[in-house]
Structure 1
Amino acid sequence: MSSIKIRTKQKDGLTIVRMLITHPMETGRRRDDLTGKTIPAHFIREVRIEHNQRLVASCELSTGVSRNPYISLRFRGGQTADSIRVTWTDNLGNTDSAETTIA
Structure 2
Amino acid sequence: MASSIRVRAIAKGETTEVQTLIQHPMDSGFIKNDKGEFIPAHFITELTFEHNGRPVFIADWGTAVSKDPYVKFAFKGGAKGDDLKVSWIDNKGGTDSATFKIQ
TM-score, scaled to structure 1? 0.96
Q: What is the aligned-residue identity percentage? A: 45
How much is the aligned-residue C-alpha RMSD, in angstroms? 0.8
Tell me which amino acid in the other structure corresponds to 1:102: I
**In the comparison of the two structures, how many residue pairs are matched?**
102
Q: Distance in 1 between matches of 2:55 and 2:12?
A: 21
CA distance in 1 between partners of 2:33 and 2:12 (Å): 45
> 1:17 maps to what in 2?
18
**Normalising by the residue count of structure 2, what TM-score does the alignment of the two structures yield?**
0.96
Which runs of 5 or more residues in structure 1 are unaligned? none
Q: Which aligned segments of 4 or more residues in structure 1 are displaced greater than 3 angstroms?
A: none
- CA deviation digits over 1:50-93, x for unaligned, max 9? 00011111101111110000011111111111100000000000
**Structure-2 residue corresponding to 1:36:** 36
Distance in 1 (alpha carbons) for counterparts of 2:3 and 2:15: 26
Structure 2: gaps spanning 5 or more residues? none
Q: Distance in 1 between matches of 2:72 and 2:36?
A: 36
